[in-house]
C-alpha cells in the first residue's frame, strides 16, 4: 500500500520537479529509489525499449553467507516508457498489484491497487496547469463508498503558489506554500495543518540540471528530518546516494551499470554493515 499512498502525496511535486536528466534511469522526483511512483524516468525507458523489469533481492552481512529475500518487484511498461503495472511481492509473501492509467495529456488519471482482501481505486482530475484539483478514492468492491478530496490554488507569482487541501465537507484542513525556480522545478514546500502542530517541509537542491539533495522535515509530536544526497560521475549519471535521518548517515546506495542500464543497487546499512543487493533483470520490446 506504500506506493499507492505516496503516489497521491507526491503527485504534484513529481509533476513539477524535473532535473532528472535524460541520462537518469530512475525517477528523481523525490529520490532515486524504486519504491515511489513513477519509479523510473519514462524517456530513458522509452529510448532503451524496456518492456519489463524484475528485481531480485539478496542480503549480505560480513562473515556470513548471502541470504535471499522473497521480495520481488515487477514493472511492466508501455512503449512510451510509462509504468502500466507494478507488482510487489513482500518478504512475507504478500502479493499486491497496482495498475496505472494516464489521461490524454499524459498525466496520471487512475491508480488501481489490488491486494489480498482489499481493492482500491484512486482517480485524479487536473486544472489547466496540470495540478490536481480533485482526488477520488473508491473501494473497488464497493464503488459507491467514494471519498472525495479537493485542492485549490492561489498563485502569488510565476514561482510561488499556495495549495489548499479540502476534505469531503469542503473544509480546508491543510495548506501548503510551494516555491519554484526559474525552470519550474520545486525548490521548497512548506505545509501546515489547520489543527494541531503538524508541519511538513521539503527542500530540493540542484546543481544545474541535476537533483543533488532532497530534505523532508515532518513535525508531529517530535521533529524528524530525512535527507537524500546524490553524487554523479562526469557524464552526469547517478553513482551514489546517502540517506540520513536527523543528520545521521543511515544508508549508502551504490548504482552499478551495464550498457547504461542499472544492473544492481547496493544499499549498505552504515551501522550493521549489512548490504542489500537489488539486482535488476530486463526484457525488451
Rounded Cα gap, residues 261 and 92, in angstroms: 29
Q: Give the residue extent of every domain in the chain.
A: 2-284
Q: Which residue has the cell 506504500?
A: 2
Name the helix (H) or strand (E) containing 46: helix 42-47
| 3-class SS of residue 43 | helix
Fold topology of 2-284: Porin (2.40.160)
Buried b (16+ CB within 10 A) or exposed e, 37-56: bbbbbbebbbebebbebebe
Model confidence, pTM = 0.87
What string of pLDDT tens digits covers the 285 residues of the chain? 444 444 444 444 444 444 445 578 998 877 888 888 999 999 999 999 999 999 999 999 988 999 999 999 999 999 999 999 999 998 888 899 999 999 999 999 999 999 888 889 999 999 999 999 999 999 867 767 788 999 999 999 999 999 999 988 889 999 999 999 999 999 999 999 998 778 999 999 999 889 999 999 988 767 899 999 999 999 999 999 999 999 999 999 999 999 999 999 999 999 999 999 999 999 999
The residue behind cell 489547520 is: 194
Are 231 and 211 spatial neighbours (Cβ–Cβ below 8 Å)? no
- In 158-192, which positions are buried (b, 16+ CB within 10 angstroms) versus exposed (e)? eeebebebbeeeeeeebbbebbbeeeebbbebbbe
C-beta neighbour count of 25 within 10 angstroms: 24
CB neighbour burial string for 109-141, b if at least 16 within 10 angstroms, e if fewer: bebbbeeeeeebbbbbebeeeebbeebebbeee
What tens digit of pLDDT does each residue of 164-195 get?
Answer: 999 888 899 999 999 999 999 999 999 999 98
Which sign does the torsion angle of CA 35, 64, 257, 80 carry?
negative
Amino acid at each position: 500500500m506504500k506506493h499507492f499512498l505516496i503516489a497521491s502525496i507526491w503527485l504534484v511535486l513529481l509533476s513539477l520537479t524535473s532535473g532528472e536528466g535524460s541520462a537518469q534511469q530512475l525517477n528523481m522526483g523525490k529520490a532515486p529509489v524504486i519504491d515511489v511512483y513513477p519509479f523510473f524516468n519514462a524517456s530513458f525507458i522509452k529510448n532503451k525499449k524496456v518492456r519489463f523489469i524484475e528485481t531480485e533481492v539478496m542480503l549480505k552481512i560480513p562473515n556470513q553467507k548471502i541470504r535471499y529475500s522473497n521480495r520481488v518487484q515487477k514493472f511492466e511498461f508501455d512503449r512510451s516508457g510509462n509504468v502500466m503495472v507494478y507488482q510487489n511481492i513482500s518478504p512475507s509473501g504478500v502479493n499486491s498489484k497496482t495498475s496505472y492509467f494516464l489521461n490524454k495529456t499524459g498525466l496520471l488519471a487512475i491508480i488501481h491497487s489490488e491486494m489480498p482482501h482489499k481493492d482500491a481505486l484512486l482517480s485524479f482530475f487536473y486544472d489547466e496547469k496540470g495540478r490536481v484539483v480533485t482526488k477520488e478514492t473508491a473501494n473497488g468492491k464497493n464503488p459507491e463508498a467514494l471519498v472525495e478530496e479537493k485542492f485549490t490554488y492561489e498563485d502569488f507569482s510565476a514561482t510561488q503558489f499556495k495549495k489548499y487541501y479540502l476534505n469531503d465537507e469542503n473544509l480546508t484542513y491543510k495548506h501548503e506554500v510551494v516555491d519554484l525556480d526559474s525552470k519550474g522545478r520545486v525548490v521548497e514546500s512548506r505545509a501546515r495543518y489547520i489543527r494541531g502542530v503538524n508541519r511538513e517541509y521539503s527542500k530540493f537542491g540542484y546543481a544545474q540540471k541535476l537533483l543533488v539533495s532532497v530534505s523532508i522535515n515532518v513535525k508531529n509530536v517530535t521533529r524528524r528530518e530525512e535527507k537524500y544526497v546524490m553524487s554523479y560521475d562526469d557524464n552526469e549519471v547517478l553513482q551514489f546516494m546517502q540517506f540520513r535521518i536527523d543528520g545521521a548517515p543511515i544508508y549508502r546506495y551504490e548504482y552499478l551499470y551495464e550498457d547504461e542500464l542499472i544492473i544492481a543497487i547496493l544499499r549498505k546499512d552504515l551501522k550493521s554493515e549489512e548490504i542489500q543487493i537489488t539486482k535488476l533483470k530486463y526484457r525488451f520490446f
